[in-house]
Structure formats: C-alpha cells, structure tokens
C-alpha cells in the first residue's frame, strides 16, 4: 500500500496555481513518529511517499522517517530545491518526482523566476552523486503549456515525464477558456505525442511518457479501481494524522477516511463498472467520480 505523508504544508515557491501553501491542516506534523510507524507496519507491503507543501523544507524529518518507518520503498515528490540537504539519504529513496512544467519560459512563468535553474541544479546533484533510482519530471499543465513541446523538452533531460492538468482548482481560467485550449492546443499536441511515442516503439524504444505507459499497461494486463489506487491501495496522511483519499481534495467530506485508529476504504462503483473501458480507465479519478463537475448527476456520496 502507498502511504503519502504530508511533511509540511509550507513551500518555498509561490506558484501561480497553488499560491505557495497547502491549506486545510496544520503547517507542521502534530503526531508522533511512533504512531505513524505503528500505523504503517500494519501493511504487508508499505511504500512511503514524502509530499507537501515542499517536503525538502524538512530534510532532517525526512531522514528520520527513512530511518524509522518500515517501508519497502520510499518516494519523494518535491520541487528539487534543497535536495542536497538529504546528502547520502538520496540513495535510500527509490523514486524522485521533480516539479517542472516544461520549457523554461513556461516553468518560470508559473513557478517563479529562475525556478527552472533550481530544478536543474538539483538534477545535476543527483547525477553527480550517481543516483540510481527513478527520476520523473512532474508537470502541472496549464493555459500557457504546449503539451507536445513541453514534454519533448523535458524528455531531453528526464527519463520519465508525467503531468496533471490545472483545471478543477484553477483560478486562472474558466471552463470556456479551458474547453477552447483543449480543442485548439491540448488535444492536437497529445495526438502528436502519441504518434511520436508509437513511432519510437516501432523502433524498439520505449519512451518514458508515464500516462501512456499506464494506459498501455492496463490495456495489456487489465486493471481495477482508479489508476492511482487512491482510497483502496493508496492513502494520504495529513499533518494532524487524518487519513485521506487524496492529499489535495481537502474541502470534501468523502475525502476523509479516518485516522491512525482505523479508516475505511472507498471504491468506484456504478456506472463505471458497466463501462466497456472500465479496465483501462478504472473510473479515472475519485474526485471526478464523486463530484462530476461537468454537469451530470453526481454519484451518491455513500457509495
């Protein structure tokens, strides 16, 4: 099971789409590491992911957690600034996701001046230290993004690229602007990316575009539940010890599953199970499944 631990809600950047702080919980961890340790060790195959805010603001806490938590693997999602403070502990982290939005002009616009330089400084540190784990560029895709150009740019530097659309919580554009951008920009760029990926595959080269890898894997081997496994095989732990489905949907009652003393799981139900592409889609996203913001009837909250 994947346990996403929110290390702090604070961040050293002030990105346009999130404002620089995760809201809805205390800024610092309120529980004891012993309680977290006892909670995680109940699972037979625990994976721990460090998240924020910006987790690298608390390098000593990350080191302590690596020392005491009974995890089979560790993951870090960070903006890359301050990665040097982990020192040799980088080699105990199996996967690192660095937040970068694509070309420098796009990343610097959303994340602040010189943010691209800071990310590449962290990447160079990992290379110098001969870090052997997975490194993933983690994009936020918004209205200034060109999905084809930005992914292709990052593939020159990162072995894997993943992205998430800045849509639901965005204050930078409305639904009409998003729809127009999707038709004129995103979908054509996505088709170009798919064509590139398939052409490379024909040459026996598997390009690390993570969303494509996930879809093809489910096409070949099937799947159940949503791809990120949130609510079933993945949960988030807030700084005050609450157990969530998703670390970013803090305003919704269904997102709270319990605490260290016990929690329930949450599943995608109908009509998704009857859909012919359910094994590929898995219901897509629990937030989308529950809230249905595109205007259709909402799923009952007790499902």
**pLDDT per residue as tens digits for the range 50-86:** 999 999 999 999 999 999 999 999 999 999 999 999 9
The arithmetic mean of pLDDT across residues 108-129, rounded, is: 95
| Domain 2-265 sits in CATH 3.20.20.70 | yes
The arithmetic mean of pLDDT across residues 219-227, rounded, is: 86
Local confidence band at 101 (pLDDT 50, 70, 90 cut-offs): very high
Strands (E), the chain: 2-6, 47-51, 73-78, 95-99, 134-141, 160-165, 208-209, 234-237, 242-244, 256-259, 262-263
CA distance 175 to 158: 32
Local confidence band at 23 (pLDDT 50, 70, 90 cut-offs): confident
pLDDT of residue 112: 92
For 225, counting Cβ atoms within 10 Å of its Cβ (0-12 exposed, 13-18 middle, 19+ buried), the class is buried
Highest mean pLDDT among 193-197, 252-256, 269-273: 193-197
The arithmetic mean of pLDDT across residues 146-165, rounded, is: 97
* Whether residue 193 has a cis bond before it, omega within 30° of 0: no
Per the model's pLDDT, the better-predicted residue between 105 and 291 turns out to be 105
pLDDT of residue 279: 87
pLDDT of residue 3: 98
User: In 10 A of CB 183, how many CB atoms?
Assistant: 10
CA-based Rg of the chain, rounded to a whole angstrom? 19
Lowest mean pLDDT among 16-25, 210-219, 227-236, 280-289: 16-25
The arithmetic mean of pLDDT across residues 237-265, rounded, is: 92
The arithmetic mean of pLDDT across residues 103-120, rounded, is: 95
Sequence-distant (≥ 6) Cβ neighbours of residue 144 within 8 angstroms: 106, 109, 110
The arithmetic mean of pLDDT across residues 90-119, rounded, is: 96
pLDDT of residue 294: 62
Q: Taking the CA atoms of 167, 169, 170 and 171 in sequence, report the sign of the dihedral they define.
A: positive
The arithmetic mean of pLDDT across residues 152-179, rounded, is: 90
pLDDT of residue 295: 55
Q: Taking the CA atoms of 202, 203, 208 and 209 in sequence, report the sign of the dihedral they define.
A: negative
Local confidence band at 299 (pLDDT 50, 70, 90 cut-offs): very low
Asked if residue 170 has pLDDT above 90, the reply is: no
pLDDT of residue 243: 97
Chain centroid to Cα 100, Å, comes to: 12
Local confidence band at 301 (pLDDT 50, 70, 90 cut-offs): very low
Chain position carrying tokens 């791809």: 227
């Amino acid at each position: 099971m994947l346990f996403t631990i929110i290390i702090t809600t604070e961040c050293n950047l002030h990105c346009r789409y999130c404002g620089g702080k995760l809201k809805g919980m205390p800024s610092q961890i309120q529980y004891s590491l012993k309680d977290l340790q006892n909670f995680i060790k109940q699972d037979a195959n625990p994976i721990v992911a460090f998240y924020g805010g910006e987790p690298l603001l608390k390098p000593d806490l990350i080191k302590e957690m690596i020392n005491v938590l009974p995890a089979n693997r560790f993951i870090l999602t960070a903006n890359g600034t301050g990665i040097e403070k982990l020192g040799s502990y980088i080699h105990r982290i199996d996967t690192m996701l660095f937040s970068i939005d694509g070309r420098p002009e796009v990343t610097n616009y959303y994340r602040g001046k010189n943010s691209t330089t800071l990310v590449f400084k962290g990447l160079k540190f990992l290379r110098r230290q001969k870090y052997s784990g997975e490194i993933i560029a983690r994009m936020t895709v918004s209205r200034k993004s060109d999905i084809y150009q930005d992914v292709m740019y990052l593939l020159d530097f990162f072995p894997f690229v993943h992205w998430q659309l800045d849509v639901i919580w965005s204050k930078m554009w409305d639904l009409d602007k998003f729809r127009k951008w999707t038709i004129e920009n995103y979908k054509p760029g996505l088709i170009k990316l798919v064509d590139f990926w398939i052409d490379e595959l024909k040459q026996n080269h598997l390009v690390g575009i993570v969303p494509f890898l996930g879809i093809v894997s489910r096409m070949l081997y099937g799947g159940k539940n949503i791809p990120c496994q949130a609510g079933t095989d993945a949960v988030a732990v807030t700084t005050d010890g609450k157990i969530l489905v998703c670390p970013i949907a803090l305003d919704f009652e269904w997102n709270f599953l319990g605490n260290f003393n016990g929690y329930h799981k949450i599943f995608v139900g109908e009509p998704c199970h009857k859909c012919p592409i359910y094994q590929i889609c898995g219901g897509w996203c629990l937030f989308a499944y529950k809230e249905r913001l595109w205007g259709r009837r909402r799923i009952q909250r007790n499902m």
